[in-house]
Chains A and B, each alone.
Chain A
Amino acid sequence: MAQVMMKDLNKKYDEVHAVKDVNLHIRDKEFVVLVGPSGCGKSTTLRMVAGLEEITAGEITIGDRIVNDLPPKDRDIAMVFQNYALYPHMTVYDNMAFGLKMRKFPKPEIAKRVGDAAEILGIQELLKRKPRQLSGGQRQRVAVGRAIVRHPQVFLFDEPLSNLDAKLRVQMRVELKRLHDRLETTAIYVTHDQVEAMTLGDRVVVMKDGWIQQVGEPLELYGKPANRFVAGFIGSPSMNFVDVTVADASGALWVETAGLRVKVPPALSGRLGAYKSQHVTLGIRPEDLRVASGSDSADYSFDTVVEVVEPLGSEILLDLKAGPNVIVARVEPTVRVKHGDKMRLALHPERVRFFDNKTELAI
């Protein structure tokens, strides 16, 4: 059990600056997810914690030891890889026992620990098989089992669910979460899947181009994205962005563009005042739009034309056009519309976000 600290962490390859000034404090027993598009530096960061990549600059502390110069084997960590990395020439038992044998544990202790881990993961009857005789989900379990038998200080997961099919992925996700609740070991988990990030993480770190964009609890990232990238990355379907101009009319602030004109919610009008007659980006999530009814204020609604209807069963996704702007709305499954229909949409005033067009930061 240990905390992990990263201080001004940098990684440079010959040409590429892969990780830039990463500062992160992962608390004891915390499950932290690094998420971002491919090439954002999340895996490199994890591999530096593991000791598989050299640190160009900065410092990593695990527990109370600075580990920069420690080889992987002395860092007291365990890692689960995307392709499972099971040793193909060993049985499941030997795979799980390998780390303990390397550390010269007595045989009965090894047998006990492997047995316990196999029981937790439900793979007792697979112990004598070779990895190639296992299915993808079983291999994944063995890889996790190999990590937990050692009772390491920190678990590292590098996209462990990416090779599984969609259904199995959801199932393993739940199991990993349960496992973490049970073992209470500090965990760092890398994924490009924002759903995995949101569901698994106590805190989520969003990265892009080597920089940390935002660190926060899942709902904090969803509700208060720090910038346009995080706003667009978290949530599916992603947030709608519309380029608008801030205007002053009849004593209130409005934002407008062709086909769309809405009042700035009072809570934001103070901060948006500085942007008068400038362009900003309006962000609104599909789930914060609804079909306007008579009771909705005209200040927060606008006219659209239906382009595409995607019925998903529990909800309907509508691709709409408000003037030239494409907008996605998530509406009740009872709404009956078809291509070309006119429709008035109302938005949730408190959930509207604005972003500076230059810095992309939230206003």
Chain B
Amino acid sequence: MAGRAGSGAGMVEGSRWHKWVFFHVPLMVFVVGTLFPFYWMLVTAFRPDGELYRPWRAVNNTPFWTTQPTLEHAIYLFKQTMFATWLWNTMFIALLSTLISLFCGLLAGYALARLRFPLAGGLGTSIFVTYLVPPTLLFIPLANIIRDFRLGDTPWSLILTYPTFLIPFCTWLLMGYFKTIPKELEECARIDGATRVRAMIQIIFPIATPGILSAGIFAFTLSWNEFIYALVFLSSPQQKTVPVGVVSELIRGDVFFWGPLMAGALLGSIPVALIYSFFVEHYVAGLTGAVKG
């Protein structure tokens, strides 16, 4: 019966059976596949150790939920490790490197989008090419520079190296956004009595707010989650960032402190999640671009 109804209608507006097979089931697989690791993180973060190390075959094993949620792992994190310091470090480093990159990206993106100067096209391309150099290669020469400037094991080693990939990224995103803003707006402002810089700051930047927010959020997230530079350039525990600190201090040899690890991952991802949800409307507008004059 279902088959008959399905053959009458099209694929999308087909029978329930069709919808389930081609839409609901794949969607559920996707959703579960994407969200399950987060769920596992959440459950493990609140699971007491006794439950965590219970064998699979045990009669009272409940792998997908917990019967006695506890905060002991979070408390352990803050009492026994330097997690608070790591959070603070990560925040400080991510904020500063984002600000530096946004500032440079704004100016460079504006110049590439608006000013006519020799080699503008070539410069744009070469900025993009530097973004393509993989950090796993770039950290070798950068480590040399960091050592020569005696910045090793300080937050500045990261604040100054993150822009190597953040600036090209911000520049390109913002250049694209500036190009969608009609140039007449700024020409009009210049006729109205503004200098080029003033027109840029009072007219173009406010209109580009969604684009600037997107670039900022992306840059912040990238530096918040960055691992390899942080691992290489920082060595003492009190200097570490969350991703490196959690991994290096809570995995000792072959012993994994799963509870605190997961609690650390959870607490570390909350700020990013908050920022995303707070700016999501601007952020989506920034990605889809387009300003109407």
Is chain A's interface secondary structure helix, strand, loop, or mixed overall? loop
Point out the residues of chain B lying under 8 angstroms from A79, CB to CB: 187-188, 191
Point out the residues of chain A lying under 8 angstroms from B193, CB to CB: 73, 99, 102-103
Stretch at the interface among A83-91, A246-254, A320-328: A83-91
Once the chains are docked, how many angstroms separate the CA of A304 from the CA of B90?
88
Point out the residues of chain B lying under 8 angstroms from A81, CB to CB: 184, 187-188
Are A102 and B194 CB-contacts (below 8 A) given A85-B293, A87-B203? yes
Considering the complex, which residues of chain B in the window 177-219 have a beta carbon less than 8 Å from any beta carbon of chain A? 182, 184-185, 187-195, 198, 203, 206-207
Render A58-85 as a binary contact track against B, CB cut-off 8 A, 1 for contact. 0000000000000111010111011111
Once the chains are docked, how many angstroms separate the CA of A50 from the CA of B184?
12
| B190 engages A83 (CB within 8 Å) | no
| B191 engages A83 (CB within 8 Å) | no
- Min distance, Cβ A55 to any Cβ of chain B, angstroms: 15
Are A83 and B293 CB-contacts (below 8 A) given A71-B195, A73-B190? yes
Point out the residues of chain A lying under 8 angstroms from B184, CB to CB: 81-83, 85
- Min distance, Cβ A304 to any Cβ of chain B, angstroms: 49
Render A215-252 as a binary contact track against B, CB cut-off 8 A, 1 for contact. 00000000000000000000000000000000000000
Point out the residues of chain A lying under 8 angstroms from B203, CB to CB: 87
- Min distance, Cβ A83 to any Cβ of chain B, angstroms: 5
| A98 engages B189 (CB within 8 Å) | yes
**A298 contacts partner chain B, Cβ-Cβ < 8 Å:** no
- Among B187, B192, B207, B293, the residue within 8 A (CB) of A102 is B192
- Among B191, B195, B291, the residue within 8 A (CB) of A50 is B191
**B292 contacts partner chain A, Cβ-Cβ < 8 Å:** yes
Considering the complex, which residues of chain A in the window 146-182 have a beta carbon less than 8 Å from any beta carbon of chain B? 146, 150
| A73 engages B194 (CB within 8 Å) | yes
Considering the complex, which residues of chain A in the window 199-215 have a beta carbon less than 8 Å from any beta carbon of chain B? none
**A52 contacts partner chain B, Cβ-Cβ < 8 Å:** yes
Point out the residues of chain B lying under 8 angstroms from A73, CB to CB: 190-195
Name which of B185, B192, B193, B293 has the most chain A CB atoms within 10 A of its CB. Answer: B192
Chain B interface residue bracket vs A? 10 to 19
Considering the complex, which residues of chain A in the window 117-159 have a beta carbon less than 8 Å from any beta carbon of chain B? 131-132, 146, 150
Once the chains are docked, how many angstroms separate the CA of A269 from the CA of B159?
87
Point out the residues of chain A lying under 8 angstroms from B291, CB to CB: 88
Are A52 and B189 CB-contacts (below 8 A) given A81-B184, A87-B203? no
Are A89 and B185 CB-contacts (below 8 A) given A52-B190, A71-B195, A99-B192? no
- Min distance, Cβ A89 to any Cβ of chain B, angstroms: 5
- Min distance, Cβ B191 to any Cβ of chain A, angstroms: 5
Once the chains are docked, how many angstroms separate the CA of A52 from the CA of B182?
14
- Among B191, B198, B207, B293, the residue within 8 A (CB) of A84 is B293
Once the chains are docked, how many angstroms separate the CA of A78 from the CA of B193?
10
- Min distance, Cβ B213 to any Cβ of chain A, angstroms: 14
Instruction: Tell me the total A-B contact number using a CB cutoff of 8 A.
Output: 67
Chain A interface residue bracket vs B? 20 to 34
| B292 engages A87 (CB within 8 Å) | no
Once the chains are docked, how many angstroms separate the CA of A98 from the CA of B193?
9
Are A85 and B190 CB-contacts (below 8 A) given A73-B195, A132-B292? no
| A85 engages B188 (CB within 8 Å) | yes
Once the chains are docked, how many angstroms separate the CA of A98 from the CA of B188?
10
Once the chains are docked, how many angstroms separate the CA of A74 from the CA of B190?
9
Render B257-293 as a binary contact track against A, CB cut-off 8 A, 1 for contact. 0000000000000000000000000000000000111
Q: Closest residue to B190 on the A side, CB-wise?
A: A72
Once the chains are docked, how many angstroms separate the CA of A103 from the CA of B192?
9
Once the chains are docked, how many angstroms separate the CA of A72 from the CA of B195?
9
Point out the residues of chain A lying under 8 angstroms from B192, CB to CB: 73, 78, 98-99, 102, 146, 150
- Min distance, Cβ A101 to any Cβ of chain B, angstroms: 8
- Min distance, Cβ A163 to any Cβ of chain B, angstroms: 10
Are A72 and B191 CB-contacts (below 8 A) given A85-B293, A87-B203, A88-B207? yes
| A89 engages B207 (CB within 8 Å) | yes
- Among A75, A87, A102, the residue within 8 A (CB) of B185 is A87
Once the chains are docked, how many angstroms separate the CA of A152 from the CA of B12?
61
Point out the residues of chain A lying under 8 angstroms from B195, CB to CB: 71, 73
| B191 engages A78 (CB within 8 Å) | yes
- Min distance, Cβ B155 to any Cβ of chain A, angstroms: 36
- Min distance, Cβ B178 to any Cβ of chain A, angstroms: 14
- Min distance, Cβ A264 to any Cβ of chain B, angstroms: 51
Once the chains are docked, how many angstroms separate the CA of A73 from the CA of B185?
14
| A83 engages B182 (CB within 8 Å) | yes
Are A52 and B187 CB-contacts (below 8 A) given A73-B194, A83-B182? yes
Are A87 and B189 CB-contacts (below 8 A) given A73-B194, A73-B195? yes
- Min distance, Cβ B268 to any Cβ of chain A, angstroms: 36
Q: Closest residue to A98 on the B side, CB-wise?
A: B192
- Min distance, Cβ B232 to any Cβ of chain A, angstroms: 43
- Min distance, Cβ A159 to any Cβ of chain B, angstroms: 11
- Min distance, Cβ B204 to any Cβ of chain A, angstroms: 10
Q: Closest residue to A163 on the B side, CB-wise?
A: B293
Point out the residues of chain B lying under 8 angstroms from A87, CB to CB: 185, 188-189, 203, 207
Q: Closest residue to B192 on the A side, CB-wise?
A: A99
Render A182-200 as a binary contact track against B, CB cut-off 8 A, 1 for contact. 0000000000000000000
Additional pairs, 8, CB under 8 Å, beyond known A78-B191, A87-B185, A102-B192: A83-B293, A85-B293, A87-B189, A87-B203, A98-B189, A102-B194, A102-B198, A103-B193
Can you give 29 A-B contacts (C-beta < 8 A)? A50-B191, A51-B190, A52-B187, A72-B187, A72-B191, A73-B190, A73-B191, A73-B192, A73-B194, A73-B195, A78-B191, A81-B187, A83-B182, A83-B184, A85-B184, A85-B187, A85-B188, A87-B189, A88-B185, A88-B207, A88-B291, A88-B293, A89-B206, A98-B192, A99-B191, A99-B192, A102-B194, A103-B193, A150-B192
Task: List the interface of chain B (C-beta within 8 A of A).
Answer: 182, 184-185, 187-195, 198, 203, 206-207, 291-293
Q: What 4 pairs between A and B have smallest CB-CB spacing? A: A102-B193, A99-B192, A85-B184, A85-B188
